[in-house]
Amino acid sequence: MTNTDFSTVLVANRGEIARRVFATARRRGLSTVAVYSDADSGEPFVREADSAVRLPGNAPSETYLDIAAVLDAAERTGADAVHPGYGFLSENSTFARAVIDAGLTWIGPSPEAIDAMGSKTEAKKLMEAAGVPVLTNLQTPEITEEMLPVLVKASAGGGGRGMRVVRTLDELESGTTAAVREAESAFGDGTVFIERYIESGRHIEVQLMADNHGGVWAVGERECSIQRRHQKVIEEAPSPLVERVDGMRDRLFEAARAAARAISYSGAGTVEFLANDKGEFFFLEVNTRLQVEHPVTEATTGLDLVGLQFDVAAGRMLPAATPPGIDGWAVEARVYAEDPRHDYRPMSGEVLRFDFDDVVSSFSGPVVPGIRLDAGPEAAPGRPAVVGVNYDAMLAKVISWAPTRAEAVGRLSGALRRARIHGLGTNRDQLVRVLDDADFRAGDIDTAFLESTHTEVSTAPLADDDAVAVSAFAAAVVAEADTASRRPDPHVATGFRLFGDARTTHRYFRGQGTDHEVEVTVVRSSRSTGAVATTLAGHDVRLVETTPPQGAARGSGDAATVTVEVDGIRRTLTVHRYPGGGVGVDSALGPVTLTERPRYDDPSAVVAEGALVAPMPGTVTSVLVAIGDTVTTGQKLMTIEAMKMEHTISATSDGTVTELAAGTGDHIETGTLLAVIDSPDNDE
């Protein structure tokens, strides 16, 4: 194959992966082209591209999945190469052929290789013939109670979509139907297959890089066992299991290279395996694209995998017969806009601030121990990032690299704990809980980690109720100081009376929790220093010092610091107040995001008893009950698709369905009335 150098790369994707590919392109002196939907018009990846072409609309089907529109953008901008990123069209052989037929360089494996791995059922047959260990497919009629649990899995696509674990024979039909429906929605192909489900398996994958001259690299392995809803959350390289089991790495690499050669693979790809603690492993799939978690391999090998993709696509050979060795340890955490305490409910809205300490690189490396931050959106005071419902809920990947696993895990935990993430709720607290868990630190993990004994621990917020109360107190102190600073006499407090101390009350709401009411007492004898005193949650909490933001407008999001004594122990908290009542409080007690409540409740905001409202925006995909049906607590009523995942709405009490306000296909917003259940316990 002759070299086919290119000069302008169009990235047929969005967000973080588009920014990642652009970063390598800039280092190579290549021009870049972005395509973007209406919802993404203000995103950083659009600004960072040399040229950007609008794809009218918001839905993936009318934007990023529209092959004709993407190729038209390439033609209009003079792009001579296309990188698909991951997701969307990255594993679509029709798109790959269309790019090649248009005379452009396709930065990915051949369409034939994509086809060979596009069907997981056919892929397993090919791998079995190549000597790669596989799990046998099961047919529904032959499944018995002894074979349970089983996994129903989409033949096309990945990312946990179109997958259901079935634990009883009664659930087999409904689980299969749900998997088919989700697969059709996500991939346009509802084909599924069933295989044995290994309850305590470990997800191990091998990074491939192959050229068109017969060179095949197995570029280290990764462990991706920490998952929720079959989607990876924390990944690391190398794997603690592979490190522990003698000879396992050699067998993994041999199987991965055999898989690549069986389909004449070229470019970057990943062979995924399900393993047990004995070191046995079974083929899952080949991802014919770059993986989300590729930075941990880059950190431990010093390679630029996107740069190698460029080289292979241009017809060059891999630079050596064997890849570089492993140096140190890297761990990646995916920060999602979601609520782990409520079945990973996706969140939409504004991210007001997204800052991390110890960041030494973004979209490359790192070349020194520290934190790499690969983020899609950017948020700063006065310029919040908006997270919608059309695309994946991942905000960023936070990667740590250090000489040892213990240091890499500790560094990542500390960076996440100290990060200033304000506004929209995220899974940050869960990530820290997992990284600090004794079993995780020992490398004793599996794919059921978040669904077993660690569920309660991993979903508990970092800040307990006392910490929230102290944080609310700090927020109230800053609010009082801000109010005082805008009066003619700043020493006269709100609610000031001629005799006695002045008192004002502040109410704060924390996510799905409860209101925290804080009474701030301004002590007149100490008013020259602004001192206040109060007691919260049974603890003595006293203000020591307040430092307001310098020169900031009210609610600008700039930091104020509040030093308090809690039962004689001094603590310093940083408070950011934002327009609209949002407050972010950060301290060693744990990060707390609050919303300042109005003094009086709005009667129109009260939800009638028995009413079920939408917890997120999305589309109703099925309604499972009818008006007049008798339901029990926990019974499934309807399903909603949001951010490419299906979510269940269940009855919160026993009773009768008296109203259905949403039907299949309806687009809904957060707070939309869905149904009303009349329960004998409901008051008139």
667-668 β-sheet, strand order: 645-650, 636-642, 618-623, 667-668
The answer to whether residues 509 and 594 touch, using CB atoms and an 8 Å cutoff, is: yes
Confidence grade of residue 336 (pLDDT, cut at 50, 70, 90) = very high
- Residue in 452, 592, 573 with CA at minimum distance from that of residue 509: 592
* d(C-alpha 239, C-alpha 112), whole Å: 31
Strands (E) located in 288-368: 329-336, 338-339, 345-346, 349-355, 359-361
Same domain, 457 and 469: no
Residue 139's pLDDT is what?
Answer: 85
Q: Residues 554, 493: one domain?
A: yes
Looking at residue 555, its pLDDT comes to: 54
* pLDDT value at residue 493: 42
- Is position 371 within any domain? yes
The pair of structure tokens assigned to 540 is 């003595």
Per DSSP bridges, beta strands 202-210 and 150-154 are: unpaired
255 found inside a domain:
no
Instruction: Give the end of a domain, one of 547, 578, 596.
Output: 596
Q: Are residues 543 and 655 in the same domain?
A: no
- Say how far apart CA 391 and CA 609 lie, in whole Å: 33
186: three-class secondary structure by DSSP: helix
The answer to whether residue 522 scores a pLDDT higher than 80 is: no
Say how far apart CA 307 and CA 537 lie, in whole Å: 55
Q: In the prediction, which pLDDT does 607 show?
A: 57
Strand boundaries in 457-500, DSSP class E: none
Report the C-alpha gap between 191 and 185 in whole angstroms. Answer: 12
Model pTM score: 0.83
Does the pLDDT of residue 494 top 50, yes or no?
no
524 confidence band (pLDDT: 50, 70, 90): very low
Asked whether residue 15 is domain-assigned, the answer is: yes
Side chain identity at 243, as an amino acid letter?
E
Over range 269-273, report the average pLDDT. 98
Give the chain's radius of gyration (CA, Å): 27
CA distance 505 to 482: 15
One domain for residues 566 and 471: yes
Q: What is the phi/psi pair of residue 342, to 5°?
A: -130, 60
Same domain for 590 and 469, yes or no, is: yes
162: which 2 tokens?
Answer: 């179109």
Residue 496: pLDDT band (50, 70, 90) is very low
User: Using omega within 30 degrees of 0 as the cis cutoff, is the peptide bond preceding 60 cis?
Assistant: no
Q: What is the CATH number of the domain that holds 518?
A: 3.30.700
User: In three state form, how does the secondary structure of 132-158 look?
Assistant: CCECCEECHHHCCHHHCCEEEEECCCC
Integer angstrom CA distances of residue 121 from 117, 131, 175, 188, 195: 9, 16, 19, 17, 10
pLDDT given for residue 190 in this prediction: 84
> CA-to-CA distance for 558 and 466, rounded, in angstroms?
25
| Residue 486 confidence (pLDDT) | 65
User: Which region among 298-312, 526-540, 548-562 has the lowest average model confidence (pLDDT)?
Assistant: 526-540
Q: Mean pLDDT over residues 501-530, rounded?
A: 64
pLDDT computed for residue 483 by the predictor: 75
Same domain, 572 and 621: no
Q: Is residue 129 part of a domain?
A: no
Residues 67, 19 share a domain: yes
pLDDT at 684 over 80: no
Query: For position 529, what pLDDT does the model report?
Result: 41
- Quick one: what percent of the chain has pLDDT higher than 90? 58
Q: Please give the helix or strand (H or E) that residue 619 lies within, else none.
A: strand 618-623
Handedness of CA 552, 555, 560, 565 (dihedral sign): positive
451 against 69, higher pLDDT: 69
Write the CATH number for 102: 3.40.50.20
Question: Is residue 622 situated within a structural domain?
Answer: yes
Tokens for 87, please give them.
């997701």
Q: Is the same domain home to 608 and 674?
A: yes
- Domain termination site, one of 543, 564, 596: 596
Residues 553 and 477 placed together within one structural domain of the fold: yes
Q: Report the percent of the chain where pLDDT is more than 70.
A: 89
More confident residue, 299 or 501: 299
Q: Report whether 83 contacts 73 (CB < 8 A).
A: no
Expressed as residue numbers, the domain containing 52 is 8-107
Sign, CA torsion 402/21/253/205: positive
Categorize the per-residue pLDDT at 158 as very low, low, confident or very high, splitting at 50, 70 and 90. low
Classify 47 as helix, strand or coil.
helix
Highest mean pLDDT out of 53-67, 124-138, 165-179, 467-481: 53-67
Q: Is residue 438 part of a domain?
A: no
Per DSSP, the residues of 517-535 read: EEEEEE-GGGTTTT-EEEE
Residue 205: which of 278, 152, 151, 255 has the closest Cα?
A: 255
- The Cβ of residue 257 has, within 10 Å, a number of other Cβ atoms equal to 18
CATH of the domain at 145: 3.30.1490.20
Which residue is associated with the tokens 């983020």?
Answer: 375
pLDDT exceeds cutoff 90 at 209: yes
- Per-residue pLDDT, 574: 96
Q: Which residue has the higher pLDDT, 483 or 276?
A: 276
Does residue 263 contact residue 113 with C-beta atoms inside 8 Å? yes
Q: What average pLDDT score do residues 526-547 get?
A: 66
pLDDT at 526: 45
Q: Output 651 or 515, whichever has higher pLDDT.
A: 651
**Would the pLDDT of 506 be above 60?**
yes
Say if residue 141 is in the same domain as residue 87. Answer: no
For the chain, the straight-line distance linking the first and the last C-alpha, in angstroms and rounded, comes to 78
Name the more confident of 453 and 480.
480
pLDDT tens for each residue of 607-659: 567 788 887 777 888 999 999 999 998 898 998 877 556 778 888 889 999 99
Q: How far apart are CA 167 and CA 556, in angstroms?
A: 51
User: Does 586 share its domain with 669?
Assistant: no
- Looking at the domain assignment, is residue 434 inside a domain? no
Whether 20 shows a pLDDT value over 70: the answer reads yes
- Residue of higher predicted confidence among 680 and 673: 673
- Among 369-378, 448-457, 588-597, the minimum mean pLDDT is found in 448-457
Task: Read off the pLDDT of residues 211-257 as tens digits, 9 standing for 90 and up.
Answer: 999 999 999 999 999 999 889 999 999 999 999 999 999 999 999 99
pLDDT band per the 50, 70, 90 thresholds, residue 492: very low
Q: According to the model, what pLDDT value does residue 157 have?
A: 64
CB atoms < 10 A from the CB of 333, how many?
Answer: 26
C-alpha 434, offset from chain centre: 15
Judged by DSSP in three states, 295 sits in helix
Q: Side chain identity at 189, as an amino acid letter?
A: D
Model confidence pLDDT, tens digit, residues 28-59: 999 999 999 999 999 999 999 999 999 999 99
Q: Is the pLDDT of residue 449 over 90?
A: yes
CA angle 166/232/139 to nearest 5° reads: 30
3-state SS class at 571: strand
Which residue type does 137 have? N
What average pLDDT does range 513-539 have in this prediction?
Answer: 59
Within a domain: residue 400? yes
Closest to 328 (Cα-Cα) out of 373, 279, 368, 272: 368
Please, which pLDDT band fits residue 21 given cuts at 50, 70 and 90? very high
Q: What is the CATH number of the domain that holds 617?
A: 2.40.50.100
List, in order, residues 6 or more apart from 636 with CB less than 8 Å away.
Answer: 624, 648, 649, 650
Q: What is the pLDDT of residue 611?
A: 84
Same domain, 471 and 556: yes
Which residue, of 437, 461, 485, is where some domain finishes?
461
Q: Which residue type occupies 664?
A: T
Strands (E), 529-605: 532-536, 539-547, 559-566, 569-577, 582-586, 592-596
Q: Which of 51-65, 442-456, 539-553 has the highest mean pLDDT?
A: 51-65
The structural domain count of the chain equals: 5
532, 521 Cβ separation under 8 angstroms: yes
Kindly report, residue by residue over 559-601, the tens digit of the pLDDT: 899 999 988 999 999 999 998 888 999 999 999 999 888 765 5
* Parallel, antiparallel or unpaired: strands 349-355 and 359-361: unpaired
Task: Indicate the pairing of strand 569-577 with strand 645-650.
Answer: unpaired
- Quote the pLDDT of residue 514: 64
